[in-house]
Structure 1
Amino acid sequence: MKQHIIALAMALGLSACSTAPHQPADNSSGQATTSTGASLVMDRPMYLRGDFTLWDADEVYRLTQTQTGVYSVRVRFMSPGKVYEFKVADAKWTPGYNCGFRYDGKVSLGKPLAADCDTVYNYFGFMPDRKGWYRISLDLRGATPQIIVQRD
């Protein structure tokens, strides 16, 4: 059975990881854009989705606007030294609303990291140095969306 599933996945060209991250385009209007050049507009609920949520769109992890163009959610990480994998996406993983890393997925505390909201597998990785509450934010104020993780 397992060989049949693997053969089917190979025949369909499915992969468990991306070979290269998508490259979102920047535009001169100062709005965040996807790799197709379309502006990302928060016209639907967005969720922090990761290994700690079983990749589900859970209301507990729904982003809320904290200031103009910035959306965030609090999360409690209880295992220092563990790499938590996550993305920000809508409930249906819609292209243009599926935000993963743009160039590099390793998130450092307090340092913004470019996001691409038109990805499939490019999830972020964050390793807290201590357990506690953190705030993960999606900042859409610039030409490129950014993810930032801060202690809360």
Structure 2
Amino acid sequence: MWRAISLVSGILIVGCSSQPTEQHSNSNNLIPSNTSLFLRGDMNNWTASSEYKVLQTSSQLFSVKAELPEAGKTYHFKFADAQWLPAMNYGAAIDDATLSLNTPLPVRAYSYLDELAFTPEQAGEYEFVLDLRGRRPVALVKQAQ
């Protein structure tokens, strides 16, 4: 009897521990009101400085402008809070995470090492957008106005 109970217990433990856990999005992709996100990347040595603080432009739509001084240079970046908390760490959701100008690219929270990339054709100011409004969050880079 004990042998049967041990066997069943072992199967249940292994079965439960081998199930994948979904950690690719925070609950409904919501950013808490007391949390600040930053554009963190090559353009600012990956710091969470105030000039790269992402502003909420409408419900679950965020953007920040950044100067990219070198045309043809690939800038790697992410959207993340100051503490690099996993749920507030937005990066690439696909393998080739190179953004083209004005073309959205899927992103996800919990993206530990999954950076986004953008290579400007010309030096200048660009707007980096994080859009969490749909079922699948996206990032977008466009020429600043």
TM tier, smaller: 0.7 to 0.9
Where does the alignment leave 5 or more consecutive residues of structure 1 unmatched?
1-24, 26-33
By how many angstroms is 1:68 displaced? 2.2
Return the index of the structure with the highest Cα Rg.
Answer: 2
Amino acid at match of 2:27: A
By how many angstroms is 1:39 displaced? 2.3
**Secondary structure at 2:51's aligned position in 1?**
helix
1:39 lines up with 2:31 in the alignment: no
Partner of 1:73: 64
Amino acid at match of 1:150: K
1:96 lines up with 2:83 in the alignment: no
Alignment partners' CA distance in 2, 1:36 and 1:130: 33
Instruction: Let me know the Cα RMSD of the aligned residues.
Output: 1.4
Amino acid at match of 2:41: G
Where does the alignment leave 5 or more consecutive residues of structure 2 unmatched?
1-21
By how many angstroms is 1:65 displaced? 1.1
TM-score (norm 1): 0.75
Partner of 2:113: 121
- Count of residues in correspondence between the two structures: 120
TM-score (norm 2): 0.78
Partner of 1:56: 47
Higher RCO (CA 8 Å, separation ≥ 6 residues): 1
Is the 8 Å Cα contact of residues 90 and 107 (structure 2) preserved in structure 1? yes
Amino acid at match of 2:102: G
1:149 lines up with 2:145 in the alignment: no
Amino acid at match of 2:76: E
Partner of 2:98: 106
Is the 8 Å Cα contact of residues 74 and 135 (structure 1) preserved in structure 2? yes
User: What is the percentage of aligned positions where both structures have the same residue?
Assistant: 32
Alignment partners' CA distance in 2, 1:94 and 1:79: 30
